[in-house]
């Protein structure tokens, strides 16, 4: 009679100790690594705490705060491996899953539309017209448009966008076609009104160039190639970066200088990031 083979004992799972960054790091270090201070991280977490809360009571499940922190580290650096190397605890596979889950939660229309808006109502439109006219006296402008390259894996689809209220305009550079709703500069302006128009146009439209430069300085994921599929996920990353950038501006969170552990990329706009506020 053959004796049954002994049962193999299951090895206990080993978990890496997770760093409590919200309490171990001060606001300056949090901003350097994750682009938000402690209050900002908690604010963003509260926006999606429900969808990010795991219903199970198992140990070692990532909290909503840690899921936001993992995503912020990826967006700040563009390097998933740093999320598991910085004593945050999760494996590379878990990091990838957490990033996907958290992007999905933050990129919902209900969240995005709280922080990324376009003037639609008469009140909003008039307020934007006044704000833009104060820059260089250019009337009837509610926005400025520009482009920037974000390298991605080759997509097989694309998305359209946009609408502008009647009587209002966007400003674009000479690379855009001139439309009733999109004003571009004169290519060969004559002295006088046309030159004055171009001057006011350039000064007013510079806000979008600065905005794009600041966005890409804050979130380095937009510098390198975003190697994710499908293209809709790349759109989620860009939208969430824009939303988080607006939250940082609303909360007066400065853009940290480039770190040694992140790839430095030349900025064609040569913009200097705002400096942290002086201690009181």
Judgement on whether residues 26 and 94 belong to the same structural domain of the protein: yes
Q: Are 40 and 247 in contact (CB under 8 A)?
A: yes
Judgement on whether residues 187 and 219 belong to the same structural domain of the protein: yes
- 161 is a domain residue: yes
Judgement on whether residues 163 and 75 belong to the same structural domain of the protein: no
- 102 is a domain residue: yes
Helix (H, G, I), strand (E, B) or coil at 93: helix
Instruction: Tell which residue, 28, 32, 13, 27, has the closest CA to residue 86.
Output: 32
Instruction: Tell which residue, 217, 208, 236, has the closest CA to residue 108.
Output: 236
Judgement on whether residues 128 and 214 belong to the same structural domain of the protein: yes
Domain that holds residue 30: 21-106
pLDDT recorded at residue 211: 92
pLDDT recorded at residue 25: 93
For the chain, 280 residues long, give each residue's pLDDT as a single digit of tens: 555 655 555 555 555 566 788 999 999 999 999 999 999 999 999 999 999 998 765 556 789 999 999 999 999 998 877 666 666 766 788 888 999 999 999 999 999 999 999 998 999 999 999 999 999 999 999 999 988 877 666 554 444 375 788 889 999 999 888 888 899 999 999 999 999 999 999 999 999 999 999 999 999 999 877 888 788 888 999 999 999 999 999 999 999 987 544 444 333 322 333 334 444 3
pLDDT recorded at residue 152: 66
pTM for the full predicted model: 0.76
Judgement on whether residues 99 and 143 belong to the same structural domain of the protein: no
- 130 is a domain residue: yes
- Rounded Cα distance between 248 and 44, Å, is 10
**Domains contained in the chain, number:** 2
- 1 is a domain residue: no
Of 174, 204, 224, at which residue does a domain stop? 224
Judgement on whether residues 90 and 171 belong to the same structural domain of the protein: no
- 170 is a domain residue: yes
pLDDT recorded at residue 270: 28
């Amino acid at each position: 009679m053959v004796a049954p083979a002994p049962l193999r004992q299951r090895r206990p799972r080993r978990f890496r100790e997770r760093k409590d960054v919200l309490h171990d790091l001060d606001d300056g270090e949090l901003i350097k690594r994750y682009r938000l201070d402690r209050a900002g991280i908690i604010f963003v977490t509260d926006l999606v705490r429900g969808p990010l809360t795991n219903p199970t009571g198992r140990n070692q499940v990532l909290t909503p705060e840690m899921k936001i922190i993992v995503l912020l580290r990826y967006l700040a650096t563009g390097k998933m491996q740093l999320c598991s190397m910085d004593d945050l605890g999760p494996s590379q596979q878990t990091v990838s899953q957490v990033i996907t889950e958290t992007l999905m939660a933050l990129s919902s229309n209900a969240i995005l539309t709280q922080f990324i808006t376009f003037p639609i109502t008469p009140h909003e439109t008039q307020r934007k017209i006044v704000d833009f006219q104060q820059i260089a006296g250019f009337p009837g402008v509610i926005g400025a448009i520009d482009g920037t390259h974000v390298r991605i894996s080759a997509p097989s689809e694309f998305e359209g966008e946009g609408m502008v209220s009647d009587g209002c305009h966007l400003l674009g550079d000479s690379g855009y076609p001139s439309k009733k709703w999109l004003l571009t500069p004169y290519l060969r302006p004559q002295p006088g009104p046309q030159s004055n128009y171009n001057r006011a146009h350039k000064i007013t439209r510079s806000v979008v160039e600065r905005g794009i430069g600041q966005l890409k300085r804050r979130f380095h994921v937009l510098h390198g190639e975003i190697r994710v599929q499908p293209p809709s996920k790349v759109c989620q990353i860009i939208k969430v970066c824009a939303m988080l950038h607006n939250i940082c501006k609303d909360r007066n969170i400065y853009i940290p200088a480039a770190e040694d552990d992140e790839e430095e990329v030349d900025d064609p706009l040569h913009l200097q990031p705002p400096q942290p506020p002086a201690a009181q």
